[in-house]
Structure 1
Amino acid sequence: MSLSSSSLNQFVIQHTLKAMGICSKAIENLLLGTAAAQENLMLQSEISTGIGVYGISKETHCRLWDDYLALDPDLASEVRGLASQHEFLKHPHIELATNLAYATAIAWMVYKRGGVILPHPDDVEGLALCWAEHFVKKSDANDEKQPLIDTFVNSYRKMGRNDPSLAA
């Protein structure tokens, strides 16, 4: 069983961004594309180190908290507020798989920490470049971004996002 892209957007991404005081079609489309592209990469790879719909590694999760969120208590509190009250303290990485709102917030933090400059929401190639530059592990990039950009664009289009304005 899978979650449709429209359900992921409407019930998870939009809801999470709204809870964080954010209203941005570009961020919605970037996060939808991220989920689709990460799933595609995980299917292509024999070993997956990422967790959840966004394929975030434990190392990335820890670095976000230790090197970014810990330096901004208000933002950390906002993100922590999306996590489960008790489970987060016992098994924080499991939240990436079991709590879609929390995983979405963490995925956005990956981009925000990197100082992402968002393209127009309809610029799928621009969104793909953001993903390749900020979300993909440097060791996976191998100095060649075009195959990654193609992965994002193809994944995005396969989920029925040929018209990015459909992210409503």
Structure 2
Amino acid sequence: MAGLDVRQFKALAVRPTLDRIGLGGDAAINLLVGTALVESGLVWLAQVRGPAMGLFQMEPATHDDCWETFLPGQPMIAAALRLLAGQNTPDAGQMVTNLAYACAMARVKYLRAAPPLPAATDAAGLSAYHKRVYNTARGAADPVRNTPIFQQAINA
């Protein structure tokens, strides 16, 4: 199944989005590219069996929780997200049609985690971080199996 080109996705979508909201850097960029690769294969805009949305496959409940419990304390980030969304109160459905917004929301999900990001070139560390922070303990992600996917994100 064909998907988006990883190099273009990284250079033209993830990097500029994270730079625009002030949450970039190589580690964050590689983490987000790897997350999209693992979650959707850069193919699926909606989860096949479940509610997750967009290339980063964030569930609407997670999206809404970010807005309700985290972003009120982060007015600069919230303002940047509203600009990306083009509306004052973005809804989860925008993660399907607005690539930059979906990317920014995935970054916000990671921003909420206490541990610092792994090194930008640590594929195993990025994969384990994805599992721990983004996917949850009961989720299907396998950090060992996904390490080569995060290496692909690093190499892109």
Q: Which amino acid letter does the alignment assign opposite residue 84 of structure 1?
A: G
| Structure whose CA Rg is larger | 1
Larger helix share, 1 or 2: 1
CA deviation map 1:7-42 (0-9, x unaligned): 1111111110111224411111100110011125x9
CA deviation map 1:89-109 (0-9, x unaligned): 5x7112111111111110000
Q: Identical aligned pairs, as a percentage?
A: 26
Q: Where do residues 93-104 of structure 1 align in structure 2 (5 Å cutoff)?
A: 93-104=92-103
Does the 8 Å CA contact 2:124/2:147 hold for their aligned counterparts?
A: yes
Does the 8 Å CA contact 1:116/1:134 hold for their aligned counterparts?
A: no
* Inter-partner Cα distance in structure 1 for 2:113 and 2:127: 15
Does the 8 Å CA contact 1:34/1:152 hold for their aligned counterparts?
A: no
Show the counterpart of 1:5.
Answer: 6
Would the alpha carbon gap of residues 155 and 94 (structure 1) be closer, same or farther in structure 2, given more than 3 Å must change?
same
1:70 is matched with which residue: 69, 72, 89?
A: 72
Q: Which amino acid letter does the alignment assign opposite residue 125 of structure 2?
A: G
Unaligned runs of 5+ in 2: none
Q: TM-score, normalised by structure 1?
A: 0.79
Show the counterpart of 2:81.
Answer: 79
* Inter-partner Cα distance in structure 2 for 1:74 and 1:22: 11
* Inter-partner Cα distance in structure 2 for 1:149 and 1:126: 9
Q: TM-score, normalised by structure 2?
A: 0.85
Q: Cα RMSD (Å) of the superposition?
A: 2.4
CA deviation map 1:40-83 (0-9, x unaligned): 5x98x861321010000011001100010022222211111111
Would the alpha carbon gap of residues 17 and 156 (structure 1) be closer, same or farther in structure 2, given more than 3 Å must change?
same
* Inter-partner Cα distance in structure 1 for 2:93 and 2:145: 26
**1:28 and 2:29 matched:** yes
Following superposition, the deviation at residue 126 of structure 1 comes to: 0.4
Q: Where do residues 17-166 of structure 1 align in structure 2 (5 Å cutoff)?
A: 17-39=18-40, 47-85=49-87, 89=89, 92-140=91-139, 148-157=142-151, 160-161=152-153, 164=154, 166=155
* Inter-partner Cα distance in structure 2 for 1:34 and 1:72: 23
Does the 8 Å CA contact 1:14/1:28 hold for their aligned counterparts?
A: yes
Unaligned runs of 5+ in 1: 142-146
* Inter-partner Cα distance in structure 1 for 2:39 and 2:121: 20
- Give the secondary structure class of the aligned counterpart of 1:55: coil
Number of aligned residue pairs: 152
